[in-house]
Amino acid sequence: MSTQQLGKSEDQLQELSQALDQGISSPVKRMLNSLSAADTAHLIESSPPKIRSLLWQLLDKEQEAEVLQELSDDVRQYYLDQMNAAEVAEITTGFDPDDLVDLLQQLPDAITQQVLSSMDAQDRARVEHILSYPEDTAGGLMNTDTITIRPNNPLDVVLRYLRRHDELPAMTDSLLVVNRQDAFIGVLPINKLLTTNPSITVREVMNTDIEPINAMTPASQVAQLFERQDLVSAPVIDDDGKLLGRITIDDVVDVIREEADHSLMSMAGLEDDEDTFAPAMKTAKRRAVWLGINLITAFVASAFIGMFQETIDKVVALAVLMPIVASMGGIAGSQTLTLVIRAMALGQIGKSNTFWLLNRECIVGLVNGLIWALVVSGVAYVWFGDGIISTVIAAAMIINLVVAVISGAALPIILKTLKIDPALAGGVILTTVTDVVGYISFLGLATLFLT
Amino acid sequence: MSTQQLGKSEDQLQELSQALDQGISSPVKRMLNSLSAADTAHLIESSPPKIRSLLWQLLDKEQEAEVLQELSDDVRQYYLDQMNAAEVAEITTGFDPDDLVDLLQQLPDAITQQVLSSMDAQDRARVEHILSYPEDTAGGLMNTDTITIRPNNPLDVVLRYLRRHDELPAMTDSLLVVNRQDAFIGVLPINKLLTTNPSITVREVMNTDIEPINAMTPASQVAQLFERQDLVSAPVIDDDGKLLGRITIDDVVDVIREEADHSLMSMAGLEDDEDTFAPAMKTAKRRAVWLGINLITAFVASAFIGMFQETIDKVVALAVLMPIVASMGGIAGSQTLTLVIRAMALGQIGKSNTFWLLNRECIVGLVNGLIWALVVSGVAYVWFGDGIISTVIAAAMIINLVVAVISGAALPIILKTLKIDPALAGGVILTTVTDVVGYISFLGLATLFLT
C-alpha cells in the first residue's frame, strides 16, 4: 500500500459507505480485491457494524482467512462466534502455527479440539506444543518455522542447503545452529553468511554471544529484550536448552502496542483492544460496570461530606470551594500515578529506588501544595472576604496534594505486590483517597476553626 | 543479556547503590563493563540523580558514546547540556547518521553547527541531508546506509559484490534496486537472493510491488505501514522518486513506543519521555503548570456552584450529593475520550464514521444515564427521604452522562481540526464541561423544584 493510499483510507471508507448505501457492491468488491489483508482488516475495524458485515460478505473464503489473522481480538471474536468448528478448520488451513494458536486461544475448548483433530499429525503436534505455553510468554509468541544448521558444515554447504528451499520463513535474519541433541549453540546471521569466505565453517563464524530466550519468559520481558537489543528474531529454548522455535519482531511489535495501550485503556476502564465501533448496547454494557464501581467511590466521598452537613449549613461558601481541594488532589495524584505506572511497565521501579521516589514525590507535593495554596487562598479571600476560610483552604490544599502524590507513587507499587493491575485499579482508589482526604481536611479544619 | 539478567536488574541496582554508598567503585566498574550499552542506559534511567552521576563518571569515553545513543531524550538532554561542542563532536564520532541526527536535534543550533563543521565532508553532507527533514517524518527517521544494486546484473554478481563488504548494514533484509538516475525501482529480498538460481538477473526476481515511502510522510503513518505490512526495512524516496535511504524497524519500534506513551502521558499533562527519576525541583516546576491550568477549571466549576449558594443554603443535602453527578460525568466522558483518542492514533476515525460514533455514544450515554440515575435516586431517597431531591439527581445524572459522552467523542475530533493535541487538552476541557454541566443541571433543577 502506498503512503498516498494511507492518507486516502478515509476517502475510501466514505466511497465505500456511499456505494454500499446504494446497494452497489461490484465496485466495492473490486476495491477490496486491490487491498492487502491488513488494509482490509483496518477498513473493517474503522467501519460501523452495518458496513462491517456488508464488507465481510463481499470477501471470498481465502480473503476471509487472511483478514481474520489481521483483525484485533475483539473484532475477530465477533466473526469467530458465528463459525462452527468445520468452518474454522477450513478457514485456518495454511495458517502459520503461531497465528493459528492466537486464534484458537479465542475459541471455546470444544471447537479448538475439533479444529485440532482435523489437522494432520505433524501440524497438530506443532500447534499443540505452542498451545501448551501461556499466551503471554515467549513460548506462546514463538513460531516453529526455524531453519537450523549444524556447526561443522562449511558455509557453501549452508548456501546450497538454503538454495534447495523455495523460500525462507519470513523475517529469517539468522540461521540457528544446533548440536545433535537439538540444543541451541549459536546463530549464524544471514549477513555474515553473505560476507564471509564460503569455505569457512559455521562454527568459526557463528555468534555464540546471543542468549536464547526461555519459553516461559513473560512476553513483556521479550519485548524489552527486542527493544534494547534491536533484534529482528531471537531463538526460544526449553529448560534443557533444546531449541523450540523463534520469536520475530512483527509479533513483538504487537506486544509493544498492546502493552502501551494497556495502561492508557485500563486507566479509563476499557479493554486493551476495545472495538471502537462496537454496537451501542454492547458498549453500554461494558462501560456500565466501570461507572458502577466509580459510583460507589463517589458515594463514599459524599458520605464524608455528609458528616459535615452542619458546618456547610452555617458557612455555605464551603460547599462552593470544597470541589477545588478534591479536584487538585486528583490531578496531582494522577500525574504521579501515571508516571509510576509507565516506569513500572518499562521495568524501572525496584526496591532500591522506591524510597527515593516516595521522598521526591513528597517534596514535589509540598512545593506545589505551597504554591497553589497561596494562589487559592488569595482568590478565596477576594471572593468571600474571610481570612479563616482562605487559611483553611490553603492548609487543606497542602495536606491533600502531599497525600495525593505519595498515594500516586505508593499505590501502584502496593497493588503490584498484591497482583492487582495498577492501571485498572489505581485510578479508582486514588480518586477515592484524594476526594475523601480533600473533603475531610477542608471541611474538618473549617469545622474546627469556623464553628 | 539473558532473561535471567533482565529479572535481576533490580538486584543489580540494589548491589550498585550499596557499593556506591560505601564508595567502592571498582566492582561497579566491572559490572558496568559487562553490561551492554542498552542495559547501562536502562540502569542509569532507573537510578536517582546521585547514583546516576556516579555511574556516568565510571563510564569510559567509548561507553559514554554508546550509552548516550540509548538514553531517552529527557535524560540524554541532561548530559548533553554539560558538554561543549568539542566534547559532543568527540563522543559522536562513529555514530550512524540517523542516530547523530537524533542527538543534534536536541542541541542548541550553535553547538550543532560546530559539531557539523568538525566532520568530514561526506558525513556532514549525509547528516545535513537528514537534518533537513523534520524529526517526525520518514526523512527524519531514515538512515543512508543502503546497499543499492542495478537491475541488469545476475544474482551471482550481486553475491560477489556483497562478499566484498566486511559486513552489511544492520537490518539489511533486502537490497534496493535503482536505475542509472538513482530512482528506486524495486527491492531484492535477501531471502530471495539465497533461494534463487544465481544466473537469473535481479530484474527477473526483484519485487516491484513494494511502494517506497515519501520522505515527508509523517512518522506515525510510517509506523502504521510497518505494523500492517510486517516490514523490517523500507525504502525512502524524494518527490522525484530518487532513493534517499531506508527506514528500519528498530527506529519504527521507538516511534510506536513514543506514540503509544504520548496519549497516556499527555492525558496526565506529562512529557512523553518524562524522566522518572528527575530531581524534585525540576519535577515540581513541570507539574506546577498543569496544576495551575486545572486550578483555573476548578475555579470555573466553583463559580457555577456559587450561583446556587442560596439554594444550597436552604437544602444542604444538595452540597452532599452534587459531586456525584459531576464525578460520574467525568468518568463517562473520559472513557469515550480515551477510546476516540486511541482510535485516532490508529487512523480509524474519518468523516464517514464520525456521525455514527456520535450517535452510538449518545445512545450509550442515555442507557447508562438511565441505569445509574435509577440507582442514584434510590440511594438518595433512602439517605435523605426526599422524593424531589432523588428525582432531580436522576434527571441531572442523565443529562450529564449524555453531554459527557458526546463531548468525549466530539472534543478530540474538534481539537484535531484546530491542530490542538487532543490527548493534552481533551481531558482538561472535558472535565470542565462535565463539572459545569453536572453542577448546573443538578443545582439548577433543584432551584426550580425545591425552592
- What was the ipTM of the complex prediction? 0.87
Q: Which of A165, A250, A291 sits opposite B368 (nearest CB)?
A: A291
Cross-chain CB nearest to B13 (options A256, A338, A353): A353
What's the pLDDT score for residue B3?
Answer: 39
Contacts of B340 in chain A (CB under 8 A): 276
A195: nearest CB among B163, B225, B269: B163
Q: Is the per-residue pLDDT at A6 higher than 60?
A: no
Of B263, B309, B342, the CB nearest to A320: B309
pLDDT for res B5? 43
A320: contact with B, CB 8 A cutoff: yes
Query: Residue A290 has what pLDDT?
Result: 93
- What are the φ and ψ backbone dihedral angles of A177, each rounded to 5 degrees? -95, 125
Q: Supply the pLDDT for residue A13.
A: 64
CA distance A94 to chain B (A): 18
Task: Tell if the CB–CB gap between B301 and A353 is shorter than 8 Å.
Answer: no
User: Which of residues 264 through 283 in chain A touch B, CB cutoff 8 A?
Assistant: 264-265, 267-270, 274, 276-277, 279-281, 283
The arithmetic mean of pLDDT across residues B153-165, rounded, is 94
How far is the C-alpha of A190 from the C-alpha of B173, rounded, in Å? Answer: 9
Interface test with B, best of A15, A28, A43, A46 (most B CBs within 10 A): A46
A 133-162 → B contacts, CB under 8 A:
138, 159, 162
**CATH 1.10.357.20 location in chain B:** 280-450
A positions 20-39 inside 8 Å of B (CB): 36, 38-39
Give the closest of B221, B292, B297 to A6, CB-based: B221
Task: Return the pLDDT at A81.
Answer: 85
Per-residue pLDDT for A420 more than 70? yes
Nearest-CA distance from A126 to chain B in Å?
23
Chains A and B form CB pairs within 8 A to the count of 399
User: Cβ(B405)–Cβ(B336) under 8 Å?
Assistant: yes
Say whether A173 and B168 touch across the interface (CB within 8 A).
no
Reported as a pLDDT band with limits 50, 70 and 90, residue B12 is: low
Question: For A321-346, how does the pLDDT look when each residue is reduced to its tens digit (9 = 90+)?
Answer: 999 999 999 999 999 999 999 998 88
| Smallest Cα distance from B58 to chain A, Å | 20
Closest in B170, B253, B368 to A287, CB measured: B368
Q: Decide if A220 touches B, using CB distance below 8 A.
A: no
Look at residue B10 in the predicted model and tell me its pLDDT: 57
CA B424 to chain A, closest CA, distance in angstroms equals: 13
Residues of A in contact with B42 (CB under 8 A): 228, 347-348
Flag whether pLDDT at A398 surpasses 70. Answer: yes
Average pLDDT for B392-398: 96
Instruction: With a cut of 80, say whether residue A186 has pLDDT above it.
Output: yes
Look up residue A156 and give its three cell numbers: 557453501
Give the strand pairing for B243-248 and A174-178: unpaired
What fold does the segment set A148-267 form as a domain? Answer: CBS-domain (3.10.580)
Say which of A48, A70, A312 has its CB closest to residue B316.
A312
* B402 to chain A, closest Cα gap in Å: 12
The three three-digit cell numbers of residue B147, written as one number: 546497499
A interface test, pick of B9, B42, B159, B335 with most A CB neighbours within 10 Å: B335
In this model, does residue B11 exceed pLDDT 70? no
Model pLDDT for residues A95-120, shown as the tens digit of each residue: 877 778 888 888 888 888 888 888 88
Q: Which fold has domain B3-141?
A: MgtE N-terminal fold (1.25.60)
What pLDDT is recorded for position B172? 92
pLDDT tens column, B231-284: 999 999 999 999 999 999 999 998 988 888 888 999 999 988 889 999 999 999
State how far residue B340 is from chain A, nearest Cα, in angstroms: 7
Cα of B114 to nearest chain A Cα, Å:
30
Mean pLDDT of B378-394: 95
A211 and B2: CB-CB below 8 Å?
Answer: yes
Q: Which of A11-20, A137-146, A379-388, B73-82 has the lowest mean pLDDT?
A: A11-20
Q: What's the pLDDT score for residue B20?
A: 66
- Minimal-distance CA residue of chain A relative to B335: A268
pLDDT greater than 70 at residue B1 = no
| Whether the predicted pLDDT of B57 surpasses 80 | yes
CA distance B97 to B140: 10
- Is the model's pLDDT at A185 over the cut of 90? yes
Which residues pair with residue A178 across a beta bridge? A184
- Contact call for B170 and A225, based on CB within 8 A: no
In three-state form (DSSP H/G/I as H, E/B as E, the rest C), the secondary structure along chain A is CCHHHHHHHHHHHHHHHHHHHCCCCHHHHHHHHHCCHHHHHHHHHCCCHHHHHHHHHHCCHHHHHHHHHHCCHHHHHHHHHCCCHHHHHHHCCCCCHHHHHHHHCCCCHHHHHHHHHCCCHHHHHHHHHHHCCCCCEHHHHCECCCCEECCCCEHHHHHHHHHCCCCCCCCCCEEEEECCCCEEEEEEEHHHHHHCCCCCEHHHHCECCCCCEECCCEHHHHHHHHHHHCCCEEEEECCCCEEEEEEEHHHHHHHHHHHHHHHHHHHCCCCCCCCCCCCHHHHHHHHHHHHHHHHHHHHHHHHHHHCCHHHHHHCCHHHHHHHHHHHHHHHHHHHHHHHHHHHHHCCCCCHHHHHHHHHHHHHHHHHHHHHHHHHHHHHHHHHHCCHHHHHHHHHHHHHHHHHHHHHHHHHHHHHHHCCCCHHHHHHHHHHHHHHHHHHHHHHHHHHHHHC
A-contacting residues of B 76-135, CB under 8 Å?
A: none
Residues of chain B found within 8 Å of residue A9, distances taken between Cβ atoms: 347, 350
Superfamily of domain A280-450 in CATH is SLC41 divalent cation transporters, integral membrane domain (1.10.357.20)
pLDDT at A448: 94
Mean pLDDT computed over every residue of chain A? 89
The mean-pLDDT minimum among B59-73, B155-169, B233-247 falls in: B59-73
**What residues of chain B lie within 8 A of the CB of A348, using their CB?**
42, 45-46, 276-277
Confidence of residue B450 (pLDDT cuts 50, 70, 90): confident
Which residues 396-425 on chain A approach chain B with CB closer than 8 angstroms? none
Higher pLDDT, A20 or B227: B227
Q: What angle do CA A203, A204, A207 make, to 5 degrees?
A: 75
pLDDT tens-digit readout, B86-134: 888 888 887 877 778 888 888 888 888 888 888 888 888 888 888 889 8
Query: Given an 8 Å threshold on Cβ–Cβ distance, is A331 in contact with B294?
Result: yes
Mean predicted confidence (pLDDT) in A248-266: 89
Predicted local distance difference test score (pLDDT) of residue A20: 67
Closest CA in chain B for residue A295? B328
Q: How much of chain A, in percent, has pLDDT values that exceed 70? A: 95
Q: Chain B residue closest to A39 (CA)?
A: B228
Test A265 with B36 for CB contact under 8 angstroms: no
pLDDT at B6: 45
List every span in chain A annotated with CATH 1.25.60.10. 3-141
Task: For chain A, say whether B3 makes contact (Cβ under 8 Å).
Answer: yes
